[in-house]
Amino acid sequence: MKIKIFDTLSHSKLNFEPLNSKKIRMYVCGPTVYDFAHIGNGRPIIVFDVLFRLLRSVYGINNVSYVRNITDIDDKIIVAANKLDIDTETLTKKTISNFHEDIESLNVLKPTHEPKATESIAEMILLIEDLIKKDIAYIAENHVLFDTKKFKDYGKLSKRSQEDMIAGSRIEIAPYKKNPFDFVLWKPSKKEEPYWDSPWGRGRPGWHIECSAMTKKFLGESFDIHAGGADLIFPHHENEIAQSESSHQKQFSKYWMHNGYLNIEGEKMSKSLGNILTIRDLLKKYNGEILRFAMLSTHYRKPINFSKDLLSSSYKQLHKIYSSLNSRSLENKVTHDIPNSLLDDMNTPLAIAEIHELVKKLNDSSISDNEWIECKSKIKRYGDLMGLFMRSNFQELEVEENKLNNVQIKEIENLIKERNLARQSGNFELADEIRGKLEIKGVILEDKGDNTTWKIKNEG
């Protein structure tokens, strides 16, 4: 079984050939922790979680190292902490804990390592010193800068030349830069700002250097896959390549993967439009599994429109799939096959279509129990690889999503019992009355033979 992935660097779909098949190494750029994560931040978290699951399945659960960093020192963090009148560490600690709570609801596996930038400052300083020693970085006005003219491959990831970029550039170039695209490796901290001592005075690291330092620390100088949002291609990932390959004189990441953008109701998410949707807010209205399903219903490289329609369609599809998985009281078998759709650059929308074909079979009362078990097992396998269908039934999801307490659940169950007694004795008036009573409370009943299940009325 071979995984195919689309590699940004070669701009083509390639067979994934690990550097060492007993030790797969992937790195994903994680969040900058200054506020609640929004659903756009959630996209790489979810789609590369699927990649992690696939790699573990193909190469062995213990043979994959997944590093997802946390940027906990940065201008935005300082600004946000000042606004709240707290120190940056208090802010980042709280934000990280919120982040973990949020993504747990999305059923995201824990990465092997989740390093914080502030815990690798020493490694960053060593790397910068090395770049200065190699005459690739220079010091100017208390800043250390990377000299982009010294790295001949600069622009290879984003496919652009410095000349192209300068042509249409609207940027004001900092006076201490030798070249417009030189970027900061280390900068002085203003008073009141967090700082670390360095050979260049009290300061703090530039943004890009942390990933170069942490990939080296946790994965080595060369590793297999580096991934993140498409907006990171330039300048972040371009600059990481420049730093690491200049310092190590060898290939940095073998493959590069980038997820597409996320829109909200057809519009770009932005502060000015006021349509920033945090994962936290969405979770108040939608179960994490619905969010996850919605996220995987578009191919990861395409733009996704996160809309009410998408979420309501996702809800209905999940309901349908869960119901079919419980259409007979039989357990699935454990299988190890990996569907081609998922191996092919994580074609999750195609995988979902295949699941629906299997659902149709499960709902076919004419198939044998053995065939039924086969189908259920296949669907559960898709679920394991995509992080879906982990619950035993749809009611569990409804209970979570609507935060129903035990008293409420008991009430629903008792009314169902009462109604079924009425139905058995032919008292359909009472049965319908109970149905109506529950419907007013927003509970829809579904009779399946002698089994009655329920779901919450979807307001759209």
Tokens of 460: 């759209």
Nearer to RNA, 46 or 58 (CB): 46
Piece of the chain touching RNA by CB under 7 A; list 56-64, 78-86, 350-358, 383-391: 350-358
Nearer to RNA, 365 or 406 (CB): 365
Name the minimum Å distance from CB 170 to RNA: 6
Q: Does 431 bind RNA (CB under 7 A)?
A: yes
Nearer to RNA, 23 or 195 (CB): 195
Taking the C-alpha atoms of residue 68 and residue 70, their distance in angstroms, rounded to an integer, is 7
Residues 6+ apart with CB under 8 A from 383: 389, 390
Name the minimum Å distance from CB 33 to RNA: 9
Q: Does 165 bind RNA (CB under 7 A)?
A: yes
* Contact code string over 68-87 relative to RNA, x by CB under 7 A: ------xxx-----------
Q: Does 190 bind RNA (CB under 7 A)?
A: no
Nearest alpha-carbon partner for 36 in 282, 400, 264, 236: 282
Name the minimum Å distance from CB 196 to RNA: 15
Nearer to RNA, 23 or 193 (CB): 193
Q: Does 156 bind RNA (CB under 7 A)?
A: no
Site for RNA, residues 358 to 377, rule: CB under 7 A: 359-360, 363-364
Taking the C-alpha atoms of residue 215 and residue 324, their distance in angstroms, rounded to an integer, is 44
Task: Classify strands 183-188 and 143-146 as parallel, antiparallel or unpaired.
Answer: antiparallel
Nearer to RNA, 100 or 316 (CB): 316
Q: Does 194 bind RNA (CB under 7 A)?
A: no
Which of 209, 398, 435, 438 is the binder for RNA (CB under 7 A)?
435
* Contact code string over 35-54 relative to RNA, x by CB under 7 A: -----xx-xx----------
Name the minimum Å distance from CB 204 to RNA: 9
Q: Does 181 bind RNA (CB under 7 A)?
A: yes
Show the CA angle centred on residue 303, arms to residues 297 and 305, nearest 5°.
65
Taking the C-alpha atoms of residue 107 and residue 437, their distance in angstroms, rounded to an integer, is 35
Site for RNA, residues 278 to 307, rule: CB under 7 A: 297-299, 302-305, 307
Nearer to RNA, 112 or 263 (CB): 263
Which of 168, 249, 368, 407 is the binder for RNA (CB under 7 A)?
168
Which of 16, 18, 24, 32 is the binder for RNA (CB under 7 A)?
32
Q: Does 333 bind RNA (CB under 7 A)?
A: no
Nearer to RNA, 136 or 311 (CB): 311
Which amino acid, residue 84?
L
Q: Does 253 bind RNA (CB under 7 A)?
A: no
Nearer to RNA, 59 or 315 (CB): 315
Q: Does 325 bind RNA (CB under 7 A)?
A: no
Name the minimum Å distance from CB 250 to RNA: 25
Residues 6+ apart with CB under 8 A from 229: 29, 40, 43, 44, 258, 259, 261
Nearer to RNA, 59 or 443 (CB): 443
Taking the C-alpha atoms of residue 456 and residue 453, their distance in angstroms, rounded to an integer, is 11
Name the minimum Å distance from CB 301 to RNA: 8
Nearer to RNA, 61 or 171 (CB): 171
Which of 94, 316, 410, 437 is the binder for RNA (CB under 7 A)?
316
* Contact code string over 111-150 relative to RNA, x by CB under 7 A: ----------------------------------------
Q: Does 262 bind RNA (CB under 7 A)?
A: yes
